[in-house]
Amino acid sequence: MGPGRWLSAAQWLAVLLLLLLARPAQAQNEPVTEAAYWLLLAETEAALAEAPVDPVELNELAGRWSAINLIQLADGQRQVVDGAYLAAALTDPETDFAALREQLAAMGRQADAVTSGAATANRDELTAVLSDNRFNYEEQEPNLLQRLQNWFLNGLNQLLARLFGGAASLQIGNLLTLLLVPVLLV
């Protein structure tokens, strides 16, 4: 490549960097309440359930979804969200609206399950099951083979740390051990 080509490539790189850095900053909207978020989800699902979808209504909903980037939860916490994917799907004529409606319905069902107390009942049931003695395992001492494997891996880590100035850390499993031990024994 000649010097003109390098200059041209550098200029293109500078233009690309400027374009990436010069994007308009997105305004931070006020958070919506959790209830308002789920209400918008239900409204969107209802709009998609109409036989011929109304493009004007979908565009209005898309605008509302793209404006949501923060949810104020009931416990005071804030959750960052991105409604841009829904906004894009609502304005894209290629979108399968029936599938999108099913996805929104699934999200709504999940929210209902979490807020209805079913999740708490399930968690209590899971806690009861896991407290059974069959799930309580005592920590076991490693057997001879496991101790040899640990000794070998620690030695290999120390060797690599010496060779590479202490910055090396070997994270390997049983496969590498099985491959290296026979090689070292031969």
Q: Convert the pLDDT of each residue in 89-148 to its tens digit.
A: 999 989 899 999 999 999 988 888 777 766 677 778 888 888 888 877 788 888 999 899
Q: Can you give the residue ranges of every domain in the chain? A: 32-127, 144-185
> Does the pLDDT of residue 63 top 50, yes or no?
yes
- Token look-up 């605008």 returns 63
**Residue 24: predicted pLDDT:** 47
- In this structure, the number of other CB atoms found within 10 A of the CB of residue 121 comes to 10
**Residue 25: predicted pLDDT:** 45
**Residue 164: predicted pLDDT:** 75
What is the overall mean pLDDT for the chain?
A: 78
% of the chain surpassing 90 pLDDT: 26
